[in-house]
Amino acid sequence: MTALFTDDAYLSTCEAVVTGITPDGAIRCDQTCFYATSGGQPGDTGFFERANGDRIAIATTVTGDSKADILHVPAEDQPVPEIGEKLVLHIDWERRHRLMRMHTACHLLSVVCPHPITGASVSETDSRVDFDMAETIDKAEVTERLMQLVRDNHPVFTRWISEAELDANPDLVKSKNVRPPRGLGHMRLVCIGADSAIDSQPCGGTHVSETAEIGDIHIGKIEKKGRENRRFRIRFGPAPS
Ligand SMILES: [Zn+2]
């Protein structure tokens, strides 16, 4: 299974061959542009187009035995494709693009708020990021600093590094509880700004290619979750006045 979204987050459609169907009816293909739920970003929805034009609606995409095992979960009562059948895969691009904008906004929040991340969840309408931090911070100020990074339109790009390079730069990992997967010999860094000047951190998700594409966002609220935990909610649109 080749995960095409790793190298091209903007690939909304691709051809694929069915390589397997699980007992639960999930579909495996030789390659896919469907992102599988991971790292706080939900899996893609969309449909598979058969040669005769019929559609197989895909309700979600998840990982199976390993991160590389991507399972497309059909909606109820969908036709079942044959092993070896050629399909054209179409993701719900409007939804995915919103997720890419939100996910990239989470990276910017970790720049504005440089504390260890204890949890994150991205959705179409908002995102939450939990930080291990004790101090109180003004949400209007966070919004303004986020929007400055958006307006500055920094490039967002990926770069592969070796595990040895990561070991030499342990500060690259901002997540407190989640360690990037080891044993592959290399991992993907998501970098923001020329020469990664703004940020770089290991991430397997999908992101927009420049920060201005995020558009208007604001911090909806900051909740205190325990003495040393703050939960930030990022929402689309300008801050309500
Ligand atoms: Zn990311």
Looking at residue 125, its pLDDT comes to 92
User: Domain check: are 15 and 68 in the same one?
Assistant: yes
User: Domain check: are 86 and 147 in the same one?
Assistant: no
Among residues 69, 91, 113, which one ends one of the domains?
91
Question: 126 CA distance to ligand 1 centroid (A)?
Answer: 15
Question: 40 CA distance to ligand 1 centroid (A)?
Answer: 9
User: Does residue 11 lie in a domain region?
Assistant: yes
Q: Mind listing the pLDDT tens digit for each residue in 126-159?
A: 999 999 998 888 999 999 999 999 999 999 999 9
Question: 84 CA distance to ligand 1 centroid (A)?
Answer: 33
User: Domain check: are 187 and 219 in the same one?
Assistant: yes
User: Domain check: are 73 and 121 in the same one?
Assistant: no
pLDDT at 183 over 70: no
Q: What is the CATH number of the domain that holds 194?
A: 3.30.980.10
Question: 122 CA distance to ligand 1 centroid (A)?
Answer: 10
User: Does residue 241 lie in a domain region?
Assistant: no
Structural domain of 29: 2-91
User: What is the model's pTM?
Assistant: 0.93
Among residues 91, 123, 150, which one ends one of the domains?
91
User: Does residue 192 lie in a domain region?
Assistant: yes
User: Domain check: are 56 and 86 in the same one?
Assistant: yes
User: Domain check: are 72 and 151 in the same one?
Assistant: no
Question: 176 CA distance to ligand 1 centroid (A)?
Answer: 15
Question: 203 CA distance to ligand 1 centroid (A)?
Answer: 5
User: Domain check: are 207 and 142 in the same one?
Assistant: yes
User: Domain check: are 102 and 206 in the same one?
Assistant: yes
Spatial distance between the Cα atoms of 67 and 37, rounded to a whole number of angstroms: 10
Q: Mind listing the pLDDT tens digit for each residue in 224-236?
A: 988 889 999 999 9
Q: What is the CATH number of the domain that holds 83?
A: 2.40.30.130
Question: 206 CA distance to ligand 1 centroid (A)?
Answer: 6
Among residues 35, 64, 91, which one ends one of the domains?
91
Question: 66 CA distance to ligand 1 centroid (A)?
Answer: 19
Question: 189 CA distance to ligand 1 centroid (A)?
Answer: 9
- What is the pLDDT confidence band of residue 179, given thresholds at 50, 70 and 90? low
Question: 209 CA distance to ligand 1 centroid (A)?
Answer: 12
User: Domain check: are 40 and 114 in the same one?
Assistant: no
- The torsion region of residue 183 among left (phi > 0), alpha (psi -120 to 50) and beta comes to left
Percentage of the chain modeled with pLDDT above 70: 95
Question: 79 CA distance to ligand 1 centroid (A)?
Answer: 34
Domain count, the chain: 2
Among 55-64, 93-102, 195-204, the minimum mean pLDDT is found in 195-204
User: Domain check: are 100 and 211 in the same one?
Assistant: yes
Question: 100 CA distance to ligand 1 centroid (A)?
Answer: 9
